[in-house]
C-alpha cells in the first residue's frame, strides 16, 4: 500500500513537472525549479563545464534518462550559446556564470521530467537547416532526413525545371523546408499541409526564418478517409488553391504509421510531450496511408511520384494495394531501408 501511495505521488509530481516544463519551453522563460531534486551546481562555484557534464550525466543515468551524456551536452551547448558539441568539448575547463548555472539547472530539471532535449533547447538541426521546435508538434527524426534524400534524388533525376510538390503532414516543416532550401537549380513550389493548426503555424514561422516564403505555401488542411482534402485555412499561398483539383509532380509524407496497440509502449518523452495523433496510424498503422494512396492517384501528374515513410510491415501491403487497384494507375517502384536496415521508405510512380 505504501509503495502504491509513493508511486501515485511520484506520478502526480511527474505530470506537474511536465506541465511546468511545457510552459517553460513555449515561453522560453525558465520559472520551473525543484530544489529538493536539484543537483545544486549553483553551490559548487568551482565547477567547470566538464565537471558539470559529469555530474548531470551521472544524475541522468541514475534516473534512467535515455542518452544521458548527449542530453547534458546539448543543454550545456544551448546555455553557452552554441549548437556545436565540439564547442562544448573545447570549453570543458571553463566555468559558467551564476545565471548560466541557474538556467542549466532548470533545463536539466525538465530533462528529468522526460522532456525531449529538442523541446528543452527549442530548436534542432535537420540536414542543413535549423528548426524551431515547441511541444507538442512532432519532432523530426533522423529517418526523415533519409526521406528527404530520396525525394531530392527523384527531383534531381527529373528533367522538369519546375516542380510542384505537396507534403502531407508537415509538422514543423522539416521535410518541405529542407527540400526547398536544397534545390536551387530548379523552380520549386511546395505546399505543406497539416491537420494540426499549431504545426502549420510552426511551419510558417520556420519557413519565414529560412527566407523561403516564395517557395513554400502553408495550408491547414485534413486528408479525409475518402481520399479528398478538406481545407480549413490558407496561412500563406494562393487564396484560390484547390488541393482536390491541383496536380503535383511529387507528393511526400511521413504520415502517422504506428499501430495503435504500440502507442503505450512508446517512451515517456513521446507519450507525455508529443502529439500522438501525428504517430497513431490506427489498428494497422494504415489509417492515413490508405486515403493518401487514393488521393495520390488523382493528384499526381503522369510520371509523378509518391514517396512515403512507413512502418516496416507496410511495403508489402502497398505493393498489394497498387496491384489490386490498377485503375488507380499507381505502380510500386521501390522500398528503401533506414539506418537500422528496416524497410522504411516506399516510392510509387503514377503511370499514364
Q: Please report, for the domain that includes residue 276, its CATH number.
A: 3.40.50.150
Q: Which three cell numbers, joined as nine digits, stand for 10?
A: 511520484
CA distance 331 to 132: 37
The answer on 156 and 38 residing in a single domain is no
The answer on 96 and 133 residing in a single domain is no
The answer on 75 and 142 residing in a single domain is no
Q: How confident is the model at residue 8 (pLDDT cuts 50, 70, 90)?
A: very low
The answer on 171 and 105 residing in a single domain is no
The answer on 181 and 39 residing in a single domain is no
Q: What is the pLDDT of residues 223-264, one digit of tens each?
A: 999 999 999 999 998 899 999 999 999 999 999 999 999 999
Whether the pLDDT of residue 4 is over 70: the answer is: no
Looking at the DSSP bridge assignments, the partners of residue 223 are 229
**Cα end-to-end span (Å), the chain:** 68
The answer on 185 and 83 residing in a single domain is no
Of the chain, the percentage scoring pLDDT greater than 90 comes to 84
Q: What is the pLDDT of residue 18?
A: 56
Of 121, 149, 181, the domain-final residue: 121
Q: What is the pLDDT of residue 24?
A: 56
CB atoms within 10 A of CB 26: 12
The answer on 114 and 157 residing in a single domain is no
The answer on 286 and 200 residing in a single domain is yes
* In the block, residue with C-alpha cell 520549386: 188
Q: What is the pLDDT of residues 117-156, one digit of tens each?
A: 999 999 999 999 999 999 999 999 999 999 999 999 999 9
Q: Which helix (H) or strand (E) holds 30?
A: none
Q: What is the pLDDT of residue 287?
A: 98
The answer on 89 and 74 residing in a single domain is yes
**Number of domains composing the chain:** 2
Could you tell me the residue range of the domain that residue 296 belongs to? 127-350
The answer on 192 and 54 residing in a single domain is no
Of 104, 121, 138, the domain-final residue: 121
Q: What is the pLDDT of residue 1?
A: 37
Of 80, 95, 121, the domain-final residue: 121
SS3 state at 38: coil
Mean pLDDT of 214-231: 98
Alpha-carbon dihedral angle through residues 332, 336, 342, 346, given to the nearest 10 degrees: -40
Tell me 330's DSSP state.
E
Q: In terms of pLDDT, which residue wins out, 19 or 221?
A: 221
Contact 93, 48 (CB under 8 A): yes
The answer on 323 and 259 residing in a single domain is yes
Contact 96, 79 (CB under 8 A): yes
Q: What is the pLDDT of residues 14-49, one digit of tens each?
A: 444 555 566 555 554 333 334 444 554 444 455 899
Mean pLDDT of 206-231: 98
pTM of the model as a whole: 0.88
CB atoms within 10 A of CB 99: 10
The answer on 273 and 142 residing in a single domain is yes
DSSP codes of every residue in 33-74 = --TTT---GGG-TT-BHHHHHHHHHHHHHHTT-SSHHHHHHH
CA distance 47 to 129: 34
CA distance 314 to 259: 11
Whether the pLDDT of residue 6 is over 50: the answer is: no
Amino acid at each position: 500500500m505504501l509503495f502504491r501511495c509513493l508511486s501515485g505521488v511520484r506520478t502526480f509530481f511527474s505530470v506537474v513537472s511536465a506541465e511546468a516544463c511545457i510552459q517553460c519551453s513555449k515561453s522560453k522563460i525558465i520559472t520551473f525549479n525543484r530544489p529538493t531534486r536539484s543537483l545544486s551546481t549553483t553551490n559548487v562555484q568551482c565547477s567547470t563545464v566538464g565537471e558539470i557534464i559529469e555530474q548531470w550525466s551521472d544524475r541522468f543515468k541514475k534516473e534512467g534518462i535515455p542518452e544521458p551524456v548527449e542530453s547534458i551536452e546539448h543543454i550545456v551547448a544551448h546555455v553557452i550559446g552554441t549548437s556545436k558539441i565540439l564547442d562544448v568539448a573545447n570549453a570543458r575547463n571553463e566555468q559558467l556564470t551564476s545565471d548560466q548555472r541557474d538556467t542549466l539547472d532548470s533545463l536539466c530539471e525538465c530533462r528529468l521530467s522526460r522532456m525531449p532535449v529538442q523541446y528543452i533547447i527549442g530548436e534542432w538541426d535537420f540536414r542543413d537547416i535549423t528548426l524551431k521546435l515547441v511541444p507538442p508538434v512532432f519532432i523530426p527524426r533522423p529517418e526523415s532526413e533519409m526521406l528527404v534524400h530520396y525525394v531530392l534524388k527523384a527531383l534531381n533525376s527529373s528533367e522538369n525545371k519546375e516542380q510542384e510538390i505537396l507534403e502531407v503532414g508537415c509538422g514543423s516543416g522539416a521535410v518541405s523546408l529542407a527540400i526547398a532550401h536544397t534545390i536551387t537549380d530548379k523552380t520549386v513550389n511546395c505546399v505543406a499541409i497539416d491537420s494540426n493548426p499549431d504545426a502549420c503555424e510552426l511551419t510558417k514561422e520556420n519557413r519565414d526564418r529560412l527566407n523561403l516564403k516564395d517557395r513554400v505555401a502553408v495550408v491547414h488542411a485534413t486528408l479525409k478517409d475518402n481520399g479528398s482534402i478538406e481545407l480549413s485555412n490558407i496561412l500563406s499561398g494562393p487564396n484560390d488553391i484547390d488541393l482536390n483539383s491541383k496536380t503535383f509532380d511529387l507528393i511526400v509524407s511521413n504520415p502517422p504509421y504506428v499501430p495503435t496497440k504500440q502507442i503505450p509502449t512508446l517512451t515517456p518523452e513521446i507519450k507525455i510531450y508529443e502529439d500522438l495523433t501525428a504517430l497513431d496510424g490506427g489498428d494497422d498503422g494504415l489509417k492515413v496511408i490508405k486515403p493518401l494512396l487514393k488521393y495520390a492517384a488523382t493528384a499526381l501528374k503522369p510520371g509523378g511520384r509518391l514517396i512515403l515513410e512507413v512502418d516496416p510491415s507496410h511495403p508489402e501491403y502497398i505493393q498489394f494495394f497498387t496491384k489490386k487497384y490498377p485503375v488507380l494507375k499507381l505502380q510500386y517502384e521501390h522500398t528503401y531501408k533506414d539506418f537500422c536496415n528496416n524497410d522504411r521508405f516506399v516510392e510509387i510512380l503514377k503511370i499514364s
